[in-house]
Amino acid sequence: MDELLPVLMSGTQRRPFAGDVLAEAALRGLGALAGLTLEPCEPPLADEVVDARPLAARTLLEEILEGDRLDCLQEWLALWRGHRMHPVLIPRALELGGGPLLKESVGSRGHWLALQNPEWQPSFASEEWETGAAPARAQWLRRQEPAHAWELLRATWKDENAETRALLLEACPPEEAFLELALGDRSKGVRLVAARLLARHFPESAYARRMGELLRAGQPPAEDPGFALSFKGLGEKAGWLAQLAALTPLGPFAEPSGVWREALLQGLVQAACWQQRADWALGLLRLGVESDELVELLDWLERDALLLAGGARWGWYARHRPFSPALALKIRQELFVLTRQRHEWAAAQALPALGHGFSVDLLAELEQGWPEGGTQWRYWSHAVEKMLAVLSFRQRMHEEKRLS
């Protein structure tokens, strides 16, 4: 280092050194020891971002970002909407990805930081399209303008393998003419994606008319439709009919009947999920169909009413939040009965998520009344404790916000 200093210092009286001389000497010295020659580079743009929003509290967000309470992140972001995230926590938050509430919370400073590190915001790195894995390329393509996305896809379509073609086709905004062409692709997976998108977005297309005519016949088609779909418990021909039902645009809800009812039901469940039809989801669930995906399609009021009217459905309760007061009372009563009975693994797995559905005002009530002296309690206690821990943390979040 002593030998480098005279070299670095020479001439500085006549031509001042633009930088930190000692820091530069240290870097070059370490580089030399490692056998590296440091190349000059441009410093990052100065952070001149000003965010005038009030600062959000950071204590509980730190706990969330440490990983134990990531399931509470979205609620924290919603609680503190209109505030800016503490700058110290923004890098850790950016590592989790995006989402509208998170992007809003990190604000312009988070956007600036993301520009400095493409790993935090792949949409700023066009190399993702050139060198990324297929799922990452598909996600990058979704973020592009429609015309640009289609330009890229058409340019590379013939060079992609079947799996990548299917992923990229689904990532692009739907275009009827291209989807019709993709129905003739040599890959069943690509044909399936094209058929799904045509059924959902182009119910008046030539494809939709062809499928509708086949389905209205009420009988299995003469041959396999060729979309590589399989359905549980159905024979070959019934499976062909289920494929038609799954890939035909849905009209108004109508209960299937007749000898092929089961095949039609299975296909219609898949169609409702792919076409995002909440009316069909509600109709099928009322017929007794078991499907978590259909439950997810309902809006809050429909889902709450469905759960209130039926029997105990622990997996469905776990997907619904918040509970209405009436549903919360129903679930509490069912919980106190359940924990006096033999342990049920599926129900116990769902209990912790219920902590997100109950109002935080109910914590004190839910901490009491459990059959702790019962013979079955030791099998249930851990799941109940985890549920109460979630509710307790949420209560702390709301209290932190109230006191801010």
3-state secondary structure of 281: helix
DSSP string, 157-222: GGGS-HHHHHHHHHHSPP-HHHHHHHTT-S-HHHHHHHHHHHHHH-TTSHHHHHHHHHHHT-S--S
Per-residue pLDDT tens for 170-209?
Answer: 999 999 999 999 999 999 999 999 999 999 999 999 999 9
Cα gap 105→94, rounded to integer Å? 11
Q: Output the CA–CA distances (angstroms, integers) from residue 28 to 39, 41, 47, 179, in the order listed.
A: 10, 13, 26, 57
At 275-304, the pLDDT tens digits run 999 999 999 999 999 999 999 999 999 999
Q: Which of 282, 271, 293 is nearest to 199 (CA)?
A: 271
User: Could you give the CA distance from residue 230 to residue 233 in angstroms, rounded to a whole number?
Assistant: 9
Neighbours of 345 (CB within 10 A): 9
Q: Which residues of the chain have pLDDT under 50?
A: 1, 4, 7-8, 10-12, 14, 123-125
φ and ψ of 64, to 5 deg: -60, -45
| CA–CA distance, 386 with 392 (Å, rounded to integer) | 10
- Please tell me the distance from the alpha carbon of residue 28 to that of residue 248, in angstroms, as a whole number: 67
DSSP for residue 133: -
pLDDT score, position 3:
52
**Structure confidence at residue 190 (pLDDT):** 95
**Contact call for residues 246 and 218 (beta carbons, < 8 A):** no
- The whole-angstrom separation of Cα 194 and Cα 174 is 9
The confidence score (pLDDT) of residue 359 equals 97
Report how far residue 116's alpha carbon sits from residue 104's, in angstroms, rounded to the nearest whole number: 18
The 8-class DSSP code of residue 84 comes to: B
Write the CB contacts of 138 (distance below 8 Å, at least 6 apart in sequence).
167, 168, 170, 171
CB 271 within 8 A of CB 245: yes
In this prediction, residue 7 carries a pLDDT of 47
Radius of gyration of the chain, Cα coordinates, nearest whole angstrom: 29
* Percentage helix, strand, coil for the chain under 3-state DSSP, each rounded to 5: 60, 0, 40
* Residue 104 token pair: 């809003």
The pLDDT, as a whole number, for residue 68 is 82
The residues that bridge with 84 in the sheet, in sequence order, are 55
Residues 387 and 351 sit within 8 Å (Cβ to Cβ): yes
Which amino acid, 255? E
Q: Give residue 116's region: left, alpha or beta (phi > 0; psi -120 to 50).
A: alpha
Q: Quick one: tokens of 24?
A: 């530069």
Nearest-angstrom CA–CA distance, 171 and 177: 16
pLDDT for position 124: 45
Looking at residue 360, the DSSP 8-state letter turns out to be G
Give residue 275's pLDDT: 96
Whole-number Å distance between alpha carbons of 70 and 382: 20
- Can you give the pLDDT at residue 45? 54
Task: Say what the pLDDT of residue 202 is.
Answer: 95
